[in-house]
């Protein structure tokens, strides 16, 4: 995972940052949006699952690389190439990759929804991903089942609080990387 903080420390930092979003100053209540379950209209088809938080999709005949917004999964192993050094897989990376494939394998129709910023510094689309057949919120499921941790980067924080809550539940239930990577 792309952070120097330990998982629990990182979660605490993200929780603190996420707590700033969605607060109603008048009532003190939070206004975290929640996705609506059920089938959704697809606007892309999965072409490849790169790793736990990155996929390639086809949109109107064009392939796009998509980074799932609001989450971070452990890094899979990469071989060195050119001037880029390789790295070993992080704890639970292969499991996160496999779980992402189980949710949205090649050929799966999906709905991509963006937040405020559409692309990252690498040109990847930033999106919340929903499986079209049943509306499963893939980003959320990866966190809730313990395959990812929250990663909120302003201004794309629509579901930051939801992701932090999902991570707390996964950690409490001792599932996924919370059980395997202590």
User: Taking all residues of the chain, what is their mean pLDDT, rounded to a whole number?
Assistant: 83
pLDDT of 172: 97
Contact 117, 67 (CB under 8 A): no
pLDDT of 81: 65
Q: Binning pLDDT at 50, 70 and 90, where does residue 92 land?
A: confident
Q: Which domains does the chain have, with CATH numbers?
A: 7-76+88-180 (2.40.50.90)
pLDDT of 1: 39
Residues for the chain: how many in total? 182
67 a catalytic residue: yes
pTM of the model: 0.77
Catalytic residue among 2, 64, 65, 75: 75
Catalytic residue among 67, 111, 131, 144: 67
pLDDT of 84: 65
Q: Tell me the angle at which helices 160-173 and 7-18 cross, rounded to the nearest 10 degrees.
A: 150
Contact 91, 74 (CB under 8 A): yes
pLDDT average, residue stretch 87-104: 89
Contact 100, 52 (CB under 8 A): yes
Catalytic residue among 64, 111, 124, 144: 124
- Please report, rounded to a whole number, the percentage of residues in the chain having pLDDT higher than 90: 67
Is the pLDDT confidence value at 161 over 70?
yes
pLDDT of 75: 85
Alpha carbons 20 and 5: distance in angstroms, whole number: 20
């Amino acid at each position: 995972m792309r952070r120097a903080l330990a998982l629990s420390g990182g979660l605490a930092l993200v929780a603190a940052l996420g707590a700033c979003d969605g607060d109603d100053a008048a009532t003190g209540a939070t206004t975290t949006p929640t996705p609506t379950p059920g089938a959704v209209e697809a606007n892309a088809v999965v072409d490849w699952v790169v790793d736990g938080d990155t996929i390639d999709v086809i949109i109107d005949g064009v392939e796009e690389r998509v980074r799932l917004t609001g989450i971070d999964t452990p890094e899979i192993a990469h071989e060195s190439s050119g001037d880029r050094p390789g790295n070993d897989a992080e704890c639970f990376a292969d499991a996160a990759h496999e779980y992402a494939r189980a949710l949205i394998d090649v050929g799966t129709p999906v709905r991509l929804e963006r937040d405020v910023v559409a692309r990252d510094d690498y040109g990847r689309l930033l999106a919340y991903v929903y499986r079209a057949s049943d509306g499963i919120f893939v980003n959320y499921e990866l966190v809730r089942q313990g395959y990812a941790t929250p990663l909120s980067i302003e201004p794309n924080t629509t579901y930051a609080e939801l992701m932090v809550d999902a991570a707390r539940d996964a950690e409490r239930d001792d599932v996924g990387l919370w059980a395997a990577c202590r």
